[in-house]
Amino acid sequence: MRNLAGLILLLLYCLTVKPQAAIINTFAGNGFVSYSGENVKGTTSLVSSKAVAYDSSKSLLYFTNLNRVRVLDCTTGLVNSIAGTATGGYNVDNIIATGAQLSGPLGVAVDNVNNLVYIADSGNHRIRVVNRTSNIISTFAGNGTIGYNSDNIIATNAQLNRPIGIAVDNVNNLVYIVDSDNHRIRVVNRTSNIISTFAGTGVYGYNGDNIIATNAQLNRPIGIAVDNVCSHC
């Protein structure tokens, strides 16, 4: 599948479906747009949720929420912020994540092996990462300047252009980035911290299939998913 390998979910609430009974229930949110505070029930109001990621090992559902990333504990039903503040922007890295500003994050991914949460900090043109053990946030990729400068460089020296999706491949120690307005899928090798283009030429459009991925045009890709079993992305 091209461009829509994953989906950014435009959610005001998160829903659960019981396929055996064909019953749908509200899991998070109540349909009203507002910020309801911390350590509150998941069925309180949410604000502009656009991406979700589930950590099945801990029963935690992460989601973007305006300028925050929040987590719903599916065991207790409580919601808390893990990153971001009420104010959009960028202030600093290497601080407690709930003191760091984000700018309209549009993607989130979980690495439950290393206890990390990756955030597509779209308006800041960065990929941020939160260490859930220390709760410290840092920049994983992007230098904060919009654009495209080069490949095969240290990821934090690379320019990104509105990244909006992330996927983690723990088997190969890779992180894939949907570099949407650069019309590319980028990949960072976490061993070397080198970023390169996985798919796309940087020119938007469609020029055919069954060609080398870096010769294929993409048009503002919006999501990605990794299949570790079949080594597909």
* 47 lies in some domain: yes
Both tokens assigned to 54: 């589930």
* 163 lies in some domain: yes
What 3-state DSSP class applies to 127? Answer: strand
The pair phi, psi for residue 131, each rounded to 5°, is -80, 110
Is pTM, for the whole model, over 0.75?
yes
* 93 lies in some domain: yes
Rounded CA separation 94/36 (Å)? 27
Parent domain of 122: 14-215
Rounded CA separation 210/213 (Å)? 8
pLDDT the model gives residue 41: 77
**Per-residue pLDDT of the chain in tens (233 residues, 90 and over written 9):** 343 333 333 333 444 545 555 666 565 666 655 566 787 876 665 656 789 999 999 999 999 989 999 999 989 989 999 999 999 999 999 999 999 999 999 999 999 999 999 999 999 999 999 999 999 999 999 999 999 999 999 999 999 999 999 999 999 999 999 999 999 999 999 999 999 999 999 999 999 999 999 999 999 999 999 987 666 66
pLDDT the model gives residue 215: 98
**Number of domains observed in the structure of the chain:** 1
* 91 lies in some domain: yes
* 228 lies in some domain: no
